[in-house]
Structure 1
Amino acid sequence: MATQKKSYAARLGVLAVALSLVTACLLGGTMAKYVTEVTGTGSATVAKWSFKANGGTESFDVALTDATQAGVAANKIAPGAKGSFDIDMSAADSEVGVDYTIAFSGTDNLPTGLKFYSDAAGNTVITEFDAVSTGTIAAAGTKKETIYWSWPTTGSDVNDTAAGTAADGAAKTFTIKVTGTQQKPTATPAP
């Protein structure tokens, strides 16, 4: 009988352990918990870029003429001529600031006595043609750079005469390159 009691006790013990495991599994799978899933979207709106020089996005023309120079054919220049031309730069439709550089090339095609100046009085001769002028335009802003020029009569008579003798009626051209680059963004300070 003692063996039978042990057998029942052992069976009851095993049954109790089995019921505990089954109950734990059932309760573990059926326990309630809060769950929330939120879905969002990301977006990026690109700032608009727009840069123009003298109204053009690819090219523009400038002619060196002096309408006040007496005794010279219309739309031609000779020693004693002077004038200026404007480069109107626009970032009016841009949503970013612009750093600009104005550069000249091919100026060796022009008469050797012809000089460019950054001031109307002719005190500051432009000698660095890779960066005739540089500056910044704010987003949605505009800026005008005026370049002055003159062909003084105090230059070399030999060179001036050679330029006039070689003149074949065709315009002597040089290139004006205006480059607009997005202004480098400044770092936003950490909050």
Structure 2
Amino acid sequence: MKKRSRIVSLGVLALTLTMMSTCLMGATMARYVTEVTGSATAKVAAWSFKANGETSTLTAIDLGADGKRNAYNGTDVAAEVIAPGTSGKFDIAIDGTGSEVGIDYVVNIASASGTTLPSDMTFKVDNAAYTLGEKIEGTIDYSNAANSMKKTITVNWEWPFDETDNKESNDNAYADNDWTLAITITGKQTTPETTAATP
């Protein structure tokens, strides 16, 4: 009987301790709790870049075509070909309309693999001498004004005619050849620059 009384006493003691710790824990854990939720939003700037109306591959520019080659007497030079003494020009129209960022552009015009041009053939870009393979660089600042994000680069070409050419210095090696100029136009977003905060 004494043994049973001890067990009951231990049980009562354990129950009392459990209740006390529950009360203490309850008092320790009591607090105000508020949870505030929300979100952050952003509209991403639009990007648009075209060259001669294309977004990936330019339609080939034919230097001998009307508008790309100056007009000549039909009894001197056949239509749609170039020859010593001919000249012309073509445009590369860069268009960033629709972009919401400034654009840095790079244009490169070079002789394609397998094409060798006469050493006296000359090119000018916007009336300044241009050597094939050089980068033509510029920036179009962001603006939402009509036609403000457009730039036209005019390339003039000339194959000079030399009346003193002889059998050693003539251009016969270029007769009846097909030439290809490789043109690459790259547009990149202008690096954003921070401005001083307004008080």
Whether TM exceeds 0.5 here: the answer is yes
Per the TM alignment, residue 98 of structure 1 is displaced from its structure 2 partner at its CA by: 0.7
1:98 aligns with 2:103: yes
Does the Cα contact within 8 Å between 2:49 and 2:96 map onto a contact in 1? yes
Give the structure with the larger helix fraction: 1
Q: Which amino acid aligns with 2:192?
A: P
Question: Measured at CA, do residues 101 and 26 of structure 1 come closer, stay the same or move farther in structure 2, by a change above 3 Å?
Answer: closer
Per the TM alignment, residue 79 of structure 1 is displaced from its structure 2 partner at its CA by: 1.7
- 1:109 is paired with a residue whose SS is coil
Listed as ranges, the gaps of 5+ residues in structure 2 are 1-19
Q: How many residues align?
A: 164
Q: Distance in 2 between matches of 1:82 and 1:160?
A: 20
1:36 aligns with 2:44: no
- Determine which structure has more spread, i.e. the larger CA radius of gyration: 1
Question: Measured at CA, do residues 128 and 78 of structure 1 come closer, stay the same or move farther in structure 2, by a change above 3 Å?
Answer: closer
Q: Distance in 2 between matches of 1:190 and 1:181?
A: 27
Per the TM alignment, residue 30 of structure 1 is displaced from its structure 2 partner at its CA by: 9.0
Residue 112 of structure 1 is aligned with which of 97, 114, 119?
119
Per the TM alignment, residue 100 of structure 1 is displaced from its structure 2 partner at its CA by: 0.5
1:130 aligns with 2:129: no
Q: Distance in 2 between matches of 1:52 and 1:184?
A: 19
TM-score (normalizing by structure 1): 0.71
Question: Measured at CA, do residues 67 and 100 of structure 1 come closer, stay the same or move farther in structure 2, by a change above 3 Å?
Answer: same
1:161 aligns with 2:160: no
Per the TM alignment, residue 45 of structure 1 is displaced from its structure 2 partner at its CA by: 2.7
Per the TM alignment, residue 182 of structure 1 is displaced from its structure 2 partner at its CA by: 1.0
Q: Distance in 2 between matches of 1:90 and 1:67?
A: 26
Per the TM alignment, residue 126 of structure 1 is displaced from its structure 2 partner at its CA by: 0.8
Q: Which amino acid aligns with 2:154?
A: T
- 1:100 is paired with a residue whose SS is strand
Question: Measured at CA, do residues 45 and 30 of structure 1 come closer, stay the same or move farther in structure 2, by a change above 3 Å?
Answer: closer
Does the Cα contact within 8 Å between 1:47 and 1:96 map onto a contact in 2? yes
Q: Distance in 1 between matches of 2:33 and 2:25?
A: 20
Does the Cα contact within 8 Å between 2:70 and 2:87 map onto a contact in 1? no
Identical-pair percentage:
37
Q: Distance in 2 between matches of 1:160 and 1:81?
A: 18
Deviations 1:87-128 (A, max 9, x none): 1001102121110111112265223221101244xxx32126
Per the TM alignment, residue 41 of structure 1 is displaced from its structure 2 partner at its CA by: 1.5
- 2:185 is paired with a residue whose SS is strand
CA-atom RMSD, angstroms? 3.1
Deviations 1:11-46 (A, max 9, x none): xxxxxxxxxx99x94994597x65431101133332
Q: Distance in 2 between matches of 1:100 and 1:49?
A: 14
